[in-house]
Chain A
Amino acid sequence: MQKFFSLILALLFLAPATLLAQTPTVDDLQQQLNDLTDRLERAERHVATDRITWYGDLRGKVDSLHYQDLTWNPGINADFTDFFMKVGSGELGALNVFDGSGNFNPGLSQGSALDTMFVNLANNDPAQFQGLMQAMGAMQQNGTMPGIGAFRLATAPKSSDLDNDILYTTRLRLGMKAKVADKINFSGRLSMYKNWGDSTGVKVFDSWNAFTMDGSNGGATSGDWLRVERAYFDWKDMGGSKFYLSIGRRPSTYGSPSNYRENELRGGTPSGAMMHFAFDGITVGYKLGEVTGIEGQVVRFCYGQGFESQWGNGEMFNDAGTANLEDTHVGGFNIDLYNDGYSLVQLTAFRAMDVNDGFKGTFAFPTQYGALFAPTLYRDMQKFPNFNFVTRYTPSTVIGDINLAGVNFERVEENGFTWFGAVGMTQLESNGKAGMFGGMGNDAVYQATLTSDASEVYMTPVKAMDDQTNEGYGVYVGIQTPAPMGKLGLEYNFGSKYWTPFTQGQDDAIGSKLATRGHVGEAYYIVEFNKNTFLKVGGLYYDYQYTGSGSPVGAPLKVEDVKDGKAFSLMPVVDTAWDAYASLTVKF
């Protein structure tokens, strides 16, 4: 017992001494405080001066692209009555290749524009020449007006398959956020999307997808330029109200439900099924949910400008080049009816007013168009068939208005299973006018014109085939489910003959799948290595029913009719195509 008490006593003496030895002094604590203050001041200084928060993602992707029955059968609708009247009146110059009995004799040619035209046609397309002669004879003898008819520019459709086994692309997106003031924030995103080995920024114009333009720059490979995909500010709770204001280059791409295939959260405000297009504009939103009690309910009025008709178009010449153009304004409502983060119901109703026959953009001029439309140019171009001069396209005239309406829905179940659907309607209102590629959902009517030096007869678009309004419908459904190591997704979409959403900014290599006038199926598997790194492997299958997917310009034609030579398209037409892809994305 004595030993025990002795031990306790010893411990009692030793313990304070040990503790005192480990307890820092006031000076030590002061020194530590000074050190911490110094470090904190550096951090504060960094936070105060580092005004932008950066984040981003980098995607490397390989696509294997395969097109079946890729057909090119160029042709136009020509006003034959007008042509024969002009020939008769001499408006198109002298015609010497017919003898006194009205028989064609190329030996009589004196090289006038009409002589050359008839001789070339007789040599290059005898069948069409004979048809033209019969129509001219019927008009002279019986007064039968030939009216408007197809005039083919190739003797037969050229149809073949095309395989691009490997297409590599890199997409870099750098997001920015900054706090401006208590209720005002800035957001932005810089984006580069390029295919490997190409930084020209332009493509040879063989499809609408090959057009480098404002609205689809983020989704079309356009070189190693870092473009401003979005840049806008939000001013929330304005004046203590439930209104917010947002101005700038809009977050109008990757919206719901198209974000699931990107393996990211809702990437834009408008419906991804209806709109995937970079816009410059204004949004005024009202948080209606704070009044109705319905979670996430927001009513937004959006306004934007899709085309500037004067500035930059050579308007100072103040001539016919810009006389028929108008600014294109887009306005409408984008309403989140319900949004609790797991379920979203969204309504869309938009109208694009004074749509022109295209946008401003750049492309490399195809030699093939030189051969069709510019014989003088082609005389030299054919010596340099792979030299494609870069040109800036400006549309020529207002062709009408477009209305869009739709509803989209998504739901994430508790086990992570996600399902979604969207239906939409687009309405193309033609005003009866047309440019080179046609009017609003409408083909152009061409009339013969003589060049100013009387050396050539060329065809110029004068009007659309009609001024009717046409409706198109689209459906988009899909699921995404948790699967071993990641997610599995299945999607399907269909677009009818006149389906024309603003989704051209989708970065699908073959073309915006949601703009397809036909069927598209997609299956993919996402393997998530960690929360910031994932591999996506999948495939897309396109079955085009009508031509012109993604463009309001020109009449949608049955793909089968183009293949059979019954219909004509200035652009190559794809029947079916598939794209097997794999991508690795890192987020940071």
Chain B
Amino acid sequence: MKLFKLLTVLLVVTCAATLVMAAEGGNSRKGKYLFKKSCKPCHVSGAEGGELTPLKKTQKQWDRFFTDDKHKSKPEALENFSDQDLKDINQFLFDHAVDSDQPETCG
């Protein structure tokens, strides 16, 4: 039972620690949603923009895309996104870029 008491105390401490955390920068999860909803329609095989996945670029290349390139082939594509939206999409693409850590599963 000592083990359970110890785990309970640690659980409370853990939850308390969570509350003091604050997210900074882009939200990868929101970025994924935005990317699928707004980018994918043009960026699948056979569509206007051609197939595009996060694995197409490195992390630095994705950062440069959002700071320098800004979708210069079709700048108006980014007009409907807020700055936070773009930060979220950038974060998602950065987190899943070709040089990011990947799940080590088969298939």
The answer to whether B17 and A266 touch across the interface, beta carbons within 8 angstroms, is no
Query: Which B residues touch A543, using CB under 8 A?
Result: 3
Proximity string of chain B (69-107) to chain A, C-beta cutoff 8 Å, 1 when within and 0 when not: 000000000000000000000000000000001111111
Query: Which B residues touch A521, using CB under 8 A?
Result: 3, 6-7
Q: Is B47 an interface residue (CB 8 A)?
A: no
Most buried by A among B3, B27, B106: B106
The answer to whether B101 and A264 touch across the interface, beta carbons within 8 angstroms, is yes
Query: Which A residues touch B17, using CB under 8 A?
Result: 481-484, 488
Contact residues, B1-46 vs A (CB, 8 A) = 3, 6-7, 10-11, 13-15, 17-18, 20-21, 23, 27, 29, 32
Residue of B nearest to A523 (CB): B10
The answer to whether B14 and A269 touch across the interface, beta carbons within 8 angstroms, is no
Proximity string of chain A (265-307) to chain B, C-beta cutoff 8 Å, 1 when within and 0 when not: 1111100000000000001010100000000001010000000
Distance (whole angstroms) from the CB of B13 to the closest CB of chain A: 8
Proximity string of chain A (481-496) to chain B, C-beta cutoff 8 Å, 1 when within and 0 when not: 1111000101010000
Q: How many residues of A contact B (CB 8 A)?
A: 43
Contact with B18, one of A232, A482, A492, A523 (Cβ below 8 angstroms)? A482
The answer to whether A283 and B107 touch across the interface, beta carbons within 8 angstroms, is yes
Contact with B23, one of A244, A415, A481 (Cβ below 8 angstroms)? A415
Query: Which B residues touch A433, using CB under 8 A?
Result: none
Q: Is A236 an interface residue (CB 8 A)?
A: yes
Proximity string of chain A (512-537) to chain B, C-beta cutoff 8 Å, 1 when within and 0 when not: 00000001010100000000000000
**How many Å lie between the Cα of A246 and that of B15 in the bound state?**
41
Given contacts A244-B106, A484-B17, 4 further A-B contacts (CB under 8 A): A187-B106, A267-B103, A268-B105, A415-B23
Chain B interfacial positions (CB closer than 8 Å to A): 3, 6-7, 10-11, 13-15, 17-18, 20-21, 23, 27, 29, 32, 101-107
Residue of B nearest to A531 (CB): B101
Q: Is A254 an interface residue (CB 8 A)?
A: yes
The answer to whether A414 and B29 touch across the interface, beta carbons within 8 angstroms, is yes
**How many Å lie between the Cα of A125 and that of B98 in the bound state?**
69
Q: Is A541 an interface residue (CB 8 A)?
A: yes
The answer to whether A481 and B14 touch across the interface, beta carbons within 8 angstroms, is yes
Contact with A266, one of B7, B13, B104 (Cβ below 8 angstroms)? B104
Most buried by A among B20, B21, B104: B104
Q: Identify 27 residue pairs between A and B in the complex whose beta-carbon atoms are under 8 Å apart, listed by A's number.
A: A175-B104, A189-B104, A246-B106, A246-B107, A251-B104, A251-B106, A255-B105, A265-B102, A266-B104, A267-B103, A268-B104, A283-B107, A285-B106, A285-B107, A287-B107, A415-B18, A415-B21, A479-B14, A481-B14, A482-B21, A483-B17, A490-B10, A490-B11, A490-B14, A492-B7, A523-B7, A523-B10
Dominant secondary structure of chain A at its interface with chain B = strand
Q: Is A208 an interface residue (CB 8 A)?
A: no
Q: Is A416 an interface residue (CB 8 A)?
A: yes
Q: Is A104 an interface residue (CB 8 A)?
A: no
The answer to whether B11 and A254 touch across the interface, beta carbons within 8 angstroms, is no
The answer to whether B106 and A283 touch across the interface, beta carbons within 8 angstroms, is yes
Proximity string of chain A (133-156) to chain B, C-beta cutoff 8 Å, 1 when within and 0 when not: 000000000000000000000000
The answer to whether A265 and B103 touch across the interface, beta carbons within 8 angstroms, is yes
**How many Å lie between the Cα of A341 and that of B102 in the bound state?**
11
Contact residues, A474-510 vs B (CB, 8 A) = 479, 481-484, 488, 490, 492
Q: Is A250 an interface residue (CB 8 A)?
A: yes
**How many Å lie between the Cα of A297 and that of B22 in the bound state?**
32
The answer to whether B11 and A266 touch across the interface, beta carbons within 8 angstroms, is no
Residue of B nearest to A245 (CB): B107
Contact with A234, one of B3, B14, B107 (Cβ below 8 angstroms)? B107
Query: Which A residues touch B104, using CB under 8 A?
Result: 175, 187, 189, 251, 254, 265-268
